[in-house]
Structure 1
Amino acid sequence: MDIFIDESGQFIPLGGAKSRAGATLALIVPSASRVALGRAFRTLKKQFGARGSEVKGASLSEQEAARVISLLQAYDVIVEAVVVDVGQHSPEEVAEFKTKQAERLIGNITRDHQPSLIQDLIAAQESMQALSNQLFLQVFCMWQLVPQLLETATMYYSQRRPAELGSFAWRVDAKDVSVTAMETLWTTLIGPLITAKTLTSPMGIIPGADYSYYERFDTVPADDSQLRAGHYYTDMKKVLRDNFKFASSDKDLGLQIADILASILTRALNGTLQKAGWQSLGSLFVRRDEQTLRLIALSKDASQQSREVTDRRWISVIQHIHSLARPMLTKHTMQLVRESGL
């Protein structure tokens, strides 16, 4: 599968002036559909009058935004996103939250953990403490997004397109940050954070689904603890580095589409895109029981990573997206689940 990650919003704390969305979004495209989707998107760009240039989501009309969503519906793509309300936090609050998160990284480490994991987390702690507030918010959203998108994509495609689990091509838009700086963050901070997160909260599996293509990424718990029934353990370093590149969106069609979708989402939340432009966006998501679209604000409680956002417009958008999201389970899988009594 091909995974394109982009962001929308400045991620600059505004100190409670008003709600303002900063989104990190992933577009997951089946590798078997990549070429056909690229061809169709080029045709759509020409119809927009863009031809060879990049189409930016911020400039699309409601009708154009809706046409992009309609195009994607034919290619079995998945959209996952994490949104933080940057408008509701002061720089001081973000700095305090960053410090607490850095402390939590090594709070539960014991001598039973693998030395390499301990070293990675200590280095990650130092890297996190050195981040600016803006970059920390970006990293925090990425940290939450990647395990979520991997679980959703593997569970969904294992029932429908199992061969997609055999490879992961990552393309991330570095935005205004230098590629070298972002590559360093991905290696020294984001990767270890995601690895630690998946070790403490292993991803679930779908009974009866085909995970055979995913077996090359299998591993055992890093601390030699007992395997938990119904969970598998993944070599996240191998997954994240399988085929990873930072790329410029003006040269990558997948990142251009991810940019458009991230912009559609933040404009919907911020009230700058009418519903006609985003009302079908939920059809690109896969429904999750907990929260299909994760909307978060930084928690002042050191024992929690986040709390839910309460803005009424945001709640309206997330509820509409959830109502249109595709079911995770196929009819065949639902029958197997019923028969197994799970």
Structure 2
Amino acid sequence: MNIFLDESGSFASATKVNSWNAIAAYMAPEFEQRRLDEILTHLKHRSGAPRTRELKLRNVQEDAYFSFLRSLATLHGALFSVAADAGLNHDTEINIHKANQADKITEHKDKMLYESGRQGVQALSDQVRDLSPQLYIQLQCQMLLISNVITYGTLYFVQRCPRELGHFRWRIDQKNSTRTEFEKAFVSLTPGILQTIFVRDPLPMLKGADYTAFSRFEYSDKEAPTYLQTVYGIDEIGDDPSLNIGKIIGEDIKFADSTRSPGIQIADLLASGVRRVLRQNFKDNRQAAVLLGSLMPQRETGVPPVHLLGFSQKQQHIDDEVTALSRVMEVYSRPMFVQK
């Protein structure tokens, strides 16, 4: 399974609401890669762009973009997205959220059995605390997106292309030739934090579905992570199979040059589309919401397929039009379960 990730927006705080930034992941079965490339090439040709040059949404006519989304809807690939309104997420609130997250990492440090372990979690906590508000928001959005890809993407594709779940090929847009601070933080923080999340909140699995290919990512009884007990002295692991999140993410992950990756270019166009519709900058925002929603698997009833992330401890009011467009995306999203 190919998973392409890119973001749209800087995630820096803004002075006005509806300053949305978005990050997107496009899950694409490997057997459809050729067709995916053809769809992107057609959009470039229609937009007068060279095949070898990356095409940005600002250079695409709206009708051509809508046609591009309709073509993607004929494939098995699925879109996942997380968005945050920079006008609602202020630095003061972000720093409080960040400090709380850093404190959680060291919450049980004194119970740890080994000094090396105590030093390790302290270093991890310090790394989170040292992130700028902008990078912290982006990292939180990225981790939530990957969590949703694993949770909902696995449930979606096990009913349609179960063999694709035997290998996850993550390709993330590389911003510079040298690894950025965000990329360093992502690599060091994401696997451990997500592993803890999935240990405490196991992956929902569909009874009777074919998880044969995916089973290689499950720990055996002898391999299951026991660090919550042996390292922290906490007994919180249930009877459900534990996933090796480090293997799912780390087995095949690269920060790649988007100019050489049609898949990342598609993720960029999709992230930009989500951001634009939330900012209500299409001429026909409802149609954009319909078409983007048609690429997204359903989540729980009443929950929009685009995950809107906030950091304030106070209840935040989302613009009525954004709420309405999110509802449109939910209505037109793909059924999660295959009817038999």
Structure 1 length normalisation: TM-score? 0.87
Is 1:175–2:181 an aligned residue pair?
Answer: no
Change (3 A) 1:107 1:269: same
Q: Shift of the alpha carbon at 1:199? A: 1.7
Change (3 A) 1:79 1:86: same
**Contact 1:65–1:277 at 8 Å: present in 2 too?**
no
Q: Specify which of 298, 301, 310 is matched with residue 297 of structure 1.
A: 310
Who is 2:255 aligned against?
246
CA RMSD of aligned residues (A): 2.4
Who is 2:71 aligned against?
71
Who is 2:49 aligned against?
50
What percentage of aligned pairs have identical amino acids?
27
Distance 1:324 1:113 in 2: 51
Taking the TM superposition and a 5 Å limit, the aligned residue runs for 1:318-337 are: 318-332=326-340
Q: Shift of the alpha carbon at 1:112? A: 7.3
Who is 1:91 aligned against?
91
Distance 1:113 1:265 in 2: 46
**Contact 1:296–1:309 at 8 Å: present in 2 too?**
no
Taking the TM superposition and a 5 Å limit, the aligned residue runs for 1:1-342 are: 1-15=1-15, 17-52=16-51, 53-107=53-107, 111=111, 121-175=121-175, 178-219=178-219, 220-222=224-226, 223=228, 228=238, 231-274=240-283, 275=285, 276-289=287-300, 291=303, 292-300=305-313, 310-332=318-340
Q: Shift of the alpha carbon at 1:7? A: 0.6
**Contact 2:94–2:312 at 8 Å: present in 1 too?**
no
Q: Shift of the alpha carbon at 1:60? A: 2.3
Distance 2:57 2:23 in 1: 14
SS across alignment from 1:207: coil
SS across alignment from 1:179: coil
Change (3 A) 1:103 1:177: farther
Give 5+ residue unaligned stretches, structure 1.
Answer: 302-306, 333-342
Larger mean CA deviation between 128-137 and 173-182 belongs to: 173-182
Distance 1:135 1:90 in 2: 13
**Contact 2:199–2:237 at 8 Å: present in 1 too?**
no
Change (3 A) 1:198 1:259: same
SS across alignment from 1:40: helix
Q: Comparing both structures, which one devotes a greater share of its residues to helix? A: 1
Change (3 A) 1:227 1:199: closer
Distance 1:250 1:237 in 2: 28
Distance 1:200 1:167 in 2: 24
Larger mean CA deviation between 282-291 and 191-200 belongs to: 191-200
Who is 2:232 aligned against?
none
Larger mean CA deviation between 261-270 and 170-179 belongs to: 170-179
SS across alignment from 1:76: coil
The Cα offsets for residues 77-125 of structure 1, whole Å up to 9 and x where unpaired, read as 1111111111113222222221122112232567479999866543321
Distance 2:111 2:206 in 1: 34
Distance 2:306 2:21 in 1: 13
Structure 2 length normalisation: TM-score? 0.87
Larger mean CA deviation between 241-250 and 190-199 belongs to: 190-199
The Cα offsets for residues 132-165 of structure 1, whole Å up to 9 and x where unpaired, read as 1111110011121111111111111111111111
Change (3 A) 1:84 1:117: farther
**Contact 2:20–2:85 at 8 Å: present in 1 too?**
yes
Distance 2:78 2:137 in 1: 24
Q: Shift of the alpha carbon at 1:286? A: 0.5
**Contact 1:81–1:293 at 8 Å: present in 2 too?**
yes
Q: Which residue identity is paired with 1:130?
A: D
SS across alignment from 1:89: coil
SS across alignment from 1:24: strand
SS across alignment from 2:125: helix
**Contact 2:174–2:256 at 8 Å: present in 1 too?**
yes
Change (3 A) 1:189 1:315: same
The Cα offsets for residues 310-335 of structure 1, whole Å up to 9 and x where unpaired, read as 22122112101100111111113xxx
Distance 2:298 2:118 in 1: 35
- Give aligned pairs, total: 325
SS across alignment from 1:65: helix
SS across alignment from 1:28: strand
Who is 1:339 aligned against?
none
**Contact 1:2–1:170 at 8 Å: present in 2 too?**
yes
Q: Which residue identity is paired with 2:321?
A: R
